[in-house]
Amino acid sequence: MIPALLAVLFFLAPSPARAAARPDPALGVEARAFKPGELILVAVTGNDPKTPPAASLRGRPLDFFPGASTGTWLAFAGLDLDYSTGPATLDAVMRAPGGKPVRKSETLNVVDAGFPIVELKVDQKFVTPDKNDSERAEAEAAKLHKLFSKTEPKRLFEGAFSSPIPGASTGRLGERRVFNGQPRAPHSGMDLKAKKGQPVRAPAAGKVLLADPLFFAGKTIILDHGLGLTTQYAHLSKFLVKPGDMVKKGQIIGKVGATGRVTGPHLHWALKLRNARLDPYSLVFLDLDAKLKARPENPLVRSSFCGLPDLPPATAWGKASGGLRARARAAKASYAPGEGVTLLVEIQNRGKKAAFVDFVRDAALRPLVLGIGEGPRPYDSLASSRTASGSLTEQVKIPKGKTLCFEQNQNAEGPLLALGTTTYALSYGTEHLYPSTGTVRAGLWRGRLAIPPAAVVVSTVTQ
């Protein structure tokens, strides 16, 4: 396996000698695994910022796009369900600023995914459809093929992707499925356990390509995230978007249902990179925030509201736990009825040593550790930053006497709105991020903080 991405350092002395000694661009690969069904991120650092590198995997060209750091270029590669195992050569041609082309090759070892065989019972019409249903399914397949050929070439997402619902998977990508005793095509997505009516959120920004009922998939939404990336949400009970809509990360796009060929309510979530069928969690794994978003100068300040002099009064500090205490306040003096509410949360270290706190990057997923009106929620799929990926959380160091400040405008049900509620009780807990018997690094805070209710003034005067 290719080692972690290498850092390339540039020195500021612009002498000819230094320019000649400038290091070559570095080539790296980030992936959850090298096996069929996985998405791979190829990164080149220290490259000419005006000229993208060129690369191919097993002879198939990759399309590069710029990262947040000058000279960093990124490209996706998809290992389809039917991708053959064995060595896969990654060839790259890179160029340092003002330098000559540099050629590098790496070999990935693609291993067998071990897809299982699963037998299911469904309505027989979805196994042996009549002539009308068969013709409908064929027409829908042709329509989808045409839609996928018109995806946006530019990037529409801003950073890391997240799960559309906080649920455990019950059906895996690549399962060889047997319906009513008859083998069918391998499963092209992940099935997430959920109750009918549960909100489905966009995992990243994108454009709605499709919001229509399909014969096999039932009510289906397809989002175009640009660069050839599309995600699918099938078996829905309700649409909350329409084709052509631009959606933001965390926006509710539909509701879980049991339409189409199903055995019960659930969400079928699928990912494609052009025609490659991929596990969407292999995209969630990638730390795209680190590649596409500039790191804050002060990691303790996560909101422009932090430190403003005219903020409403904060609540009293809550009871300390493990050396930490927390408080909250509204970001504005008053809100119009129905207006979105932003709460500012502060976690202060009153202990004798620095503390590390698991911080969930995605505001839509943060209610799983930051309860608003309820306690934090268990969530098996939320990887702790203790793990190798750290794709959904990061460990923020809070030195002695310092405060982590961030804003939150969503609870577990969606955006916070100024309605009848005028106070919000909060709690911050990370007990669900680790198994009870697991070991954690020294200095990592684990527990729960009770935050006194934050008052929100709801005005009848339009803001």
Looking up residue 179, the CATH number of its domain turns out to be 2.70.70.10
Q: Are residues 281 and 158 in the same domain?
A: yes
Q: Are residues 133 and 109 in the same domain?
A: no
Last residue of a domain, one of 262, 285, 308: 285
Place of tokens 């829908």: 140
CATH number at residue 352: 2.60.40
Give the DSSP H or E segment for 134. Answer: helix 131-148
Greatest Cα pair distance in the chain: 76
* pLDDT of 129: 67
The model's pLDDT over 18-30, given as tens digits with 9 standing for 90+, comes to 444 467 899 999 9
Q: Are residues 214 and 144 in the same domain?
A: yes
| Identity of residue 106 | E
Q: What's the CA gap between 237 and 233, in Å, rounded?
A: 11
Last residue of a domain, one of 238, 259, 285: 285
- The count of structural domains within the chain is 3
- Could you tell me how many helices (H) and strands (E) the chain has, helices first? 4, 31
**Pair 462, 337: CB distance under 8 Å:** no
* CA dihedral sign, ordered 126, 130, 133, 134: positive
Residue 345 C-alpha from the chain's centroid: 23
| Identity of residue 442 | A
Residue 40 lies in a domain: yes
**Pair 175, 187: CB distance under 8 Å:** yes
Q: Are residues 31 and 69 in the same domain?
A: yes
* CA dihedral sign, ordered 383, 3, 294, 405: positive
Residue 309 lies in a domain: no
Residue 296 lies in a domain: no
Q: Are residues 220 and 275 in the same domain?
A: yes
Residue 294 lies in a domain: no
Q: Are residues 127 and 256 in the same domain?
A: yes
Last residue of a domain, one of 66, 83, 113: 113
Ranges of the chain whose pLDDT falls below 50: 1-21, 119-120, 122, 177-183, 380-391, 436-439, 462-463
| Residue-range definition of the domain harbouring residue 404 | 324-455
Q: Are residues 340 and 434 in the same domain?
A: yes
* pLDDT of 168: 61
Q: Are residues 260 and 333 in the same domain?
A: no
Q: Are residues 141 and 265 in the same domain?
A: yes
Residue 11 lies in a domain: no
Residue 306 lies in a domain: no
Q: Are residues 50 and 123 in the same domain?
A: no
Predicted model pTM: 0.62
Q: Are residues 253 and 344 in the same domain?
A: no
Q: Are residues 431 and 347 in the same domain?
A: yes
Q: What's the CA gap between 247 and 245, in Å, rounded?
A: 6
347: buried, middle or exposed (CB in 10 Å: 19+, 13-18, 0-12)? buried
Residue 394 lies in a domain: yes
Residue 305 lies in a domain: no
* pLDDT of 463: 38
Residue 274 C-alpha from the chain's centroid: 19
CATH number at residue 47: 2.60.40.1590
